[in-house]
Structure 1
Amino acid sequence: MSATRLLVLGVVRMSGRAHGYRVGRELMDWGASEWANVKWGSIYHALRKLTAEGRLREVTAEGDDVVERVSYEITEDGEAELHRLLRTALSHAGDDHGLLCAGITLMTSLPRAEVIDLLRSRIAELERSGAEALKTARLSTEEWDKPEHVRPLFRLWELYVGAAVEWTRGLIRELEEGRYTMADDSPRAFGQPPAESPRG
């Protein structure tokens, strides 16, 4: 699953209406090129693909930076896809860090309790994965059916999982303490659509 797809939908939604350069500039300002490997070409590709799928629609924004450009608005299908991708990203326990980062960036567009539940699901999946890695790493030499030098990779995964669980628990604590403005706290929470009609 693509972090770029999630982020592009998120930026268009929170902008109300945005052309490709505005979407890209926003994501570059967030540093998404570093933590999600977002590139200009992948942004324009995502805009075209999401439009072809009916998740975005093209609109002409007159007077946008003097030159008329094609801008994009999110559709109902796009809203549904955004929320599906966001829920997957927040409960995701794999090694796609860009996807997790995209989910955390846009998590405030969901209700607090839902985000906490999704993060708890992430912990459960991480703990299951960590237990499997630990079990494999502790196999006796006779049981080990892989090259011996691969054993440290399972120990590395075990350490990664422990750190990921600890970090996720910390984020849950912050949310439970009321930190961050979430969708059910305010319609102006980060990631929410604009209160007024969109401008290009």
Structure 2
Amino acid sequence: MSATRLLVLGVVRMQGQTHGYRVGRELLSWGTETWANVKWGSLYHALRKLSQEGKLREFVAEGDEVVDRTSYEITEDGVAEIHRLLRRGLTRRDDPALLFASVTLMCSLPRAEVLDLLGRRLELLEGVAGELDPAEEPRGPEHLGELFGLWRGAVEADLRWTRDLIASLRAGRYTMADDGPDAFGLPPLPGASAPV
């Protein structure tokens, strides 16, 4: 649910003011049903819950009453929740969907902060890799060694990916929040119209 919360908040923030169908259409165009398990029902549940928590503000926009829909905009608490979820997703390894969502919206943070968060992720992964000693014999059936090999391979791949992303960001790749107002994940510029 954390990934869905982050993605829903992120899309509402990006669009300024929007309704649930537009949020869903945007997220599904990113393929989130595959990598974050986002479903239509979970989107509407997240919108309602985030509104109840004060992270989104519900309102009736012009034309909403004709089609019986509700529109949303993000609150300051919602922006704080985006930042909290991004920081959690980029520094931990217990929620792959949240990591995927966080990478998707990482450009909405300043470059130095993302580098710091990924540095913390790297330290965590290096610690985990240090605990996976290939010389240690697994207890139990002989084939359990294959499981430890899978874990080692996954951690090594995660380490490579994290190091590569850090290098890309240090090289100035991607437009981040402090690079300009057109970074992915930021609200629309004043006077800009949200996509329909």
**TM-score, structure 2 length as denominator?**
0.92
Q: For 2:185, which of 171, 175, 191 is the aligned residue?
A: 191
Partner of 2:153: 159
Partner of 1:32: 32
CA contact (8 A) 1:130 1:157 kept: no
Once superposed, which parts of structure 1, at least 4 consecutive aligned residues long, lie more than 2 Å away?
63-69, 137-140, 144-151, 197-200
- In 2, Cα distance between equivalents of 1:32 and 1:180: 21
Unaligned runs of 5+ in 2: none
For residue 64 of structure 1, report the CA deviation from its aligned partner.
5.2
For residue 77 of structure 1, report the CA deviation from its aligned partner.
0.9
The aligned amino acid for 1:25 is R
Q: CA RMSD in A?
A: 1.9
Partner of 1:138: 135
Partner of 1:58, secondary structure, is strand
1:53-64 → structure 2 map (5 Å cutoff): 53-63=53-63
Partner of 1:70: 70
Partner of 2:127: 128
Deviations 1:136-183 (A, max 9, x none): x5334xxx4444332321111111111111111111111111110000
Partner of 1:61, secondary structure, is coil
Unaligned runs of 5+ in 1: none
Percent same amino acid among aligned pairs? 62
**Number of aligned pairs?**
194
Q: For 1:176, which of 148, 170, 173 is the aligned residue?
A: 170
The aligned amino acid for 1:128 is G
Partner of 2:116: 117
**TM-score, structure 1 length as denominator?**
0.90
The aligned amino acid for 1:79 is V
- In 2, Cα distance between equivalents of 1:102 and 1:64: 29
1:84-95 → structure 2 map (5 Å cutoff): 84-94=84-94
